[in-house]
A and B are shown apart, each in its own frame.
Chain A
Amino acid sequence: MKVESNKEMAELYQAVILDHYKNPRNFRKMDEQTCSHQGFNPLCGDRLEVYLKIGQGNSTIEDISFEGEGCAIFKASASLMTEALKGKNIAAAEQLFEEFRRLLLKQLDPDREPHHLGKLKVFSGIWQFPVRTKCASLAWHTMKAALEGKTGQTKTE
């Protein structure tokens, strides 16, 4: 199928993003969760729940998953987040969130600065679409709220 797409479109919707949108990873409810949180973006209706299983005494994210509905950027971001965070400890997860947040705002240039973003670099074009950055950050904010609250399912907004 021929798609006449321009540069910005291709940068925003990279193949990795479309792949994770169509086949989101860790897209399931988790029964053995230790904490979870719901996130909602009232502007566009994106909503999700993030589930985490934190190891006893070692603060390692042993498992992470999500469920939810929303746009491609949102879903791919949540999916890639779960891949990136599984097996990391909480401090590393928080550092990665900080790097990701700066990437979205174009405050971090992945080609010039050391970072741990890996595949998350695919979101580097999103600053050109300011209304869409919230779609990419919602899952992360929700994950952080889950870690901070540990339990509970309050809404972020």
Chain B
Amino acid sequence: MKEAELNRIRADFPNLGCQVHGHPLAYLDNAATTMKPRQVIEAITNHYRAETANVHRGLHHLSVLATKKYEGAREKVVRFINAGSEQEIIFTRGTTEAINLAASSYGGHLLKPGDEILVSQMEHHSNIVPWQLVCQSRGLRLKVIPMDESGQLRLDRFRELLTERVRLVALVYTSNALGTINPVEQIIEEAHGMGAVVLLDAAQTIAHLEVDVQELDCDFLAFSGHKMFGPTGIGVLYGKENLLEQMPPYQGGGEMISQVTFAKTTYNALPYKFEAGTPPIAQAIGLGAAIDYIESIGFAQISEHEELLRVHASAQLARIPGLRIIGTAARKAAICAFSLEEIHPHDLGTFLDQRGIAVRTGHHCAQPVLDFFGLPATTRASFSVYNSLQEVDLLAAAIEEARSFFL
């Protein structure tokens, strides 16, 4: 990406220009959440400033306007991930709620005691705990696909585990703790071969790679708005229509019903069956604006720039004595987790923060990953399209300084 283009993109993000402890911010915690461009901020503000109304339940002017924008956001999601129709797009609070919905409604009703669910060893807690809960209540069994030392899925073990008892595979597309991009196409094909459905956790993929649910042929896909330049409080569960049709509602309330009497209640059609109560309207509109924003840059440019950042960061970090990169899969996103000799990530994180460099330290909500590598925590730099190679250099230089400070 040309420098002028990068600067143009950066200028869209007001928060990127701030100072932290007297230094210009270097925001390298994009896997936690991304910054928001003014286009998204304006879309949200505009809803509250000029178009406030509830959706689907008013015939007055503002309600019609808000409904149009809200449903317009859903249409954008359909196009963005190439879903079959609006019926397949359920708005949720985020990835976590999307997975909980699938676990509780699909896992809790369409799976039978003794059925098995496969997850991988590199899942985020949000793709572990909902399945554990449903396993407990329904008598299902959870099995774990191991990974190797580089943070790659053990496909050989996957094939051993994939028996006809396995009815569902819930897999992270891109690992937030390691950066590994899993071979989801292959997993889906093989799982389908055994008659199992596949849910993909695309929280770390959606802003970085083009996702086409029909081409992937995944059965469910979950992601969050706030990791793709959109607001918090909104996410998506994509589900194949025939599956969603068979699933009972997740929560009860307004919006999700067709008719209510004390004798019997009938449910609304898809996707509203799964959207009880007043939805996150401004957030959905913000998500729509975020999709527009991503499309205005284009995945070709995003991927190219992020690959540059990844390669540069890997090289710069690998040169630092005692630094060990955690997650060295052949196919990786621009996420670099590492340990640095005896220096605890929290000390390093504080040191970097004092230089305006924001990274994540801890277990990244993926404790099994850290257990596998025998570490209590790692430090993680995660990049987005607005990061620069100079920020990578700043990070590497500050880590070198931290070494001499602490060792």
B is bound to A: yes
Which positions in A face B, CB cutoff 8 Å? Answer: 1, 3-6, 8-9, 12-13, 18, 21, 43-47, 69-74, 129, 132, 135
- A9, B377: Cβ atoms under 8 Å? no
Shortest beta-carbon contacts, A-B, top 6 = A45-B376, A71-B344, A1-B404, A71-B346, A72-B347, A9-B354
Known A8-B21, A70-B376; contact A3-B401, beta-carbon cutoff 8 A: yes
Q: Is B405 an interface residue (CB 8 A)?
A: yes
Q: Is B368 an interface residue (CB 8 A)?
A: no
What number of B residues sit within 8 Å (CB to CB) of A?
19
For A74, the chain B residues whose CB sits under 8 A away are 344
Complex Cα spacing A47 to B377, Å: 12
Which positions in B face A, CB cutoff 8 Å? Answer: 21-22, 344-347, 350-351, 354, 361-363, 370, 376-377, 401, 404-406
Complex Cα spacing A12 to B346, Å: 13
Extra A-B contacts (8), CB below 8 Å, given A13-B405, A71-B344, A74-B344: A5-B354, A43-B362, A44-B346, A45-B362, A70-B344, A72-B347, A72-B406, A73-B347
Complex Cα spacing A3 to B351, Å: 11
**Closest Cβ neighbor of B377 among chain A residues:** A45
Q: List 7 A-B contacts (CB under 8 A).
A: A8-B354, A44-B362, A44-B376, A45-B377, A46-B376, A72-B347, A135-B346
Max chain A Cβ within 10 angstroms of own Cβ: one of B345, B347, B401: B347
Q: In the complex, how many angstroms separate the beta carbon of B177 from the nearest chain A beta carbon?
A: 14
- A5, B362: Cβ atoms under 8 Å? no
Q: In the complex, how many angstroms separate the beta carbon of B244 from the nearest chain A beta carbon?
A: 36
Q: In the complex, how many angstroms separate the beta carbon of B320 from the nearest chain A beta carbon?
A: 15
For A6, the chain B residues whose CB sits under 8 A away are 21-22, 354
For B347, the chain A residues whose CB sits under 8 A away are 13, 71-73
- B350, A18: Cβ atoms under 8 Å? no
Contact of A132 among B346, B370, B406 (CB under 8 A): B346
For A45, the chain B residues whose CB sits under 8 A away are 362-363, 370, 376-377
Contact of B406 among A8, A12, A18, A70 (CB under 8 A): A18
Known A72-B347, A129-B350, A135-B346; contact A5-B405, beta-carbon cutoff 8 A: yes
Max chain B Cβ within 10 angstroms of own Cβ: one of A8, A18, A71: A71
Complex Cα spacing A46 to B21, Å: 26
For A4, the chain B residues whose CB sits under 8 A away are 401
Complex Cα spacing A94 to B406, Å: 31
Q: In the complex, how many angstroms separate the beta carbon of B123 from the nearest chain A beta carbon?
A: 18
Q: In the complex, how many angstroms separate the beta carbon of B341 from the nearest chain A beta carbon?
A: 12
For A21, the chain B residues whose CB sits under 8 A away are 406
For A9, the chain B residues whose CB sits under 8 A away are 350-351, 354
Complex Cα spacing A43 to B367, Å: 11
**Closest Cβ neighbor of A69 among chain B residues:** B376
Q: In the complex, how many angstroms separate the beta carbon of A132 from the nearest chain B beta carbon?
A: 7
Max chain A Cβ within 10 angstroms of own Cβ: one of B345, B346, B361, B370: B346
Complex Cα spacing A33 to B361, Å: 35
Q: In the complex, how many angstroms separate the beta carbon of B400 from the nearest chain A beta carbon?
A: 10
For A70, the chain B residues whose CB sits under 8 A away are 344, 376
**Closest Cβ neighbor of A129 among chain B residues:** B350
**Closest Cβ neighbor of B361 among chain A residues:** A44
For B344, the chain A residues whose CB sits under 8 A away are 44, 70-72, 74
Q: In the complex, how many angstroms separate the beta carbon of B345 from the nearest chain A beta carbon?
A: 8
**Closest Cβ neighbor of A6 among chain B residues:** B354
Complex Cα spacing A9 to B361, Å: 18
Q: In the complex, how many angstroms separate the beta carbon of A33 from the nearest chain B beta carbon?
A: 25
Complex Cα spacing A62 to B377, Å: 35
Complex Cα spacing A47 to B354, Å: 25
**Closest Cβ neighbor of A9 among chain B residues:** B354
**Closest Cβ neighbor of B353 among chain A residues:** A129
For A44, the chain B residues whose CB sits under 8 A away are 344-346, 361-362, 376-377
**Closest Cβ neighbor of B406 among chain A residues:** A72
**Closest Cβ neighbor of B370 among chain A residues:** A45
Complex Cα spacing A142 to B129, Å: 29
Complex Cα spacing A149 to B374, Å: 31
For A1, the chain B residues whose CB sits under 8 A away are 404
- B346, A3: Cβ atoms under 8 Å? no
